[in-house]
Structure 1
């Protein structure tokens, strides 16, 4: 497996970048836009599976550790505040739209965490988050098609 493909997969499942960073990165490494978008969308759509699996098992063990508990509680407060309003008002459509906006802290990780915290159905949440990921992927791919790999500066500040 080549390095750009591996890094695209990695960036797609990383909470800080998700597909917002993965697609521009892949294109900047010479990957065709369609391939970059499909790889990033597929990997990012797997995030709810990873998140729900983790939250359902390993979380119970780690929550006993004070440092983890404080860190996790602060993330939960943020996720709950961001997702709850949208889900209350629009249901699972709200969750999908929340994830579909390709901005920092509105991706699959926050959507999955928010769905888990709110006790939403895994199946319905997964479908809503996956649909949101597809929409976000199309938006990011369109911006990359218009502005090239430099489009990532729309989503992130340049790291120097």
Structure 2
């Protein structure tokens, strides 16, 4: 079910530039609602896109589709469309990278200080446990694995989670920054491409993530089938 939910999230992001948001924002994504609200507050489009990309959970994967809606990219053509897309991409990457060095440098001392308090300990225990579960598969490949992890534009990945994962893995600041930066660049390319492709982008995203979901389901079923065999072997009497 989690894989299906993730697939729907990315498909919705790919469709965000095709569906014009209503004035009430009822059918807009979280990123789009934030963008529309900030724009109504009088902030420039560039500031809105950059600001949304800095936020956890939303990050670049929300800023790029929201930027295409704000700048009405689907109605543009030729050089104007390309220029707007490049501008949105650059602002989103820069915004997504802004919190990363602060997380890498300050997460250790801040978490140690706050974990002296019950609420802080509860929060960071949850955060670190969640990040370890999500990033367990990247530890084998370290910097390369971190790049791939950050580059996948899903709600459980991105610059924020990548920075926490890099801290938990003990990566150096330089390696962590380089890996996360490359991952953010790739993620931005993916989101920009999907946003520009509209319905075709949604179809491609849906097929790709359906394949991932089926692969995960297959591995899970294989793991369940192996457990009884292992249990049977452990129960055999020694001769």
Q: TM-score, normalised by structure 1?
A: 0.85
- Answering whether residue 125 of structure 2 is matched by residue 73 of structure 1, we say yes
Give how far 1:52 is off.
Answer: 1.3
Aligned to 1:158: none
Aligned to 1:11: 52
* Contact 2:139 2:169 (C-alpha < 8 Å) held by counterparts: no
CA distance in 1, matches of 2:157, 2:100: 13
The runs of at least 4 aligned residues of structure 1 exceeding 6 Å deviation read none
Q: TM-score, normalised by structure 2?
A: 0.58
Based on CA coordinates, which of the two structures has the bigger radius of gyration?
2
SS in structure 2 of the partner of residue 74 of structure 1: helix
- Answering whether residue 188 of structure 2 is matched by residue 137 of structure 1, we say yes
CA distance in 2, matches of 1:96, 1:11: 22
- Answering whether residue 100 of structure 2 is matched by residue 48 of structure 1, we say yes
- Out of 62, 73, 85, the position equivalent to 2:137 is 85
Greater mean alpha carbon deviation, residues 55-64 or residues 119-128: 55-64
CA RMSD of superposed structures (Å): 2.2
Give how far 1:60 is off.
Answer: 2.8
SS in structure 2 of the partner of residue 102 of structure 1: coil
CA distance in 2, matches of 1:86, 1:59: 23
> Can you give the 5+ residue segments of structure 2 that lack an aligned partner in the other structure?
1-41, 73-83, 206-239
CA distance in 2, matches of 1:124, 1:131: 11
Give how far 1:2 is off.
Answer: 4.0
- Answering whether residue 149 of structure 2 is matched by residue 98 of structure 1, we say yes
SS in structure 1 of the partner of residue 198 of structure 2: helix
SS in structure 2 of the partner of residue 7 of structure 1: helix
Query: How many positions carry a matched residue from both structures?
Result: 151
* Contact 1:98 1:106 (C-alpha < 8 Å) held by counterparts: yes
Cα deviation, 1:22-52, whole Å, max 9, x if unaligned, reads 0111121117221111000112123320211
CA distance in 2, matches of 1:97, 1:40: 18
CA distance in 2, matches of 1:122, 1:141: 28
CA distance in 1, matches of 2:114, 2:46: 32
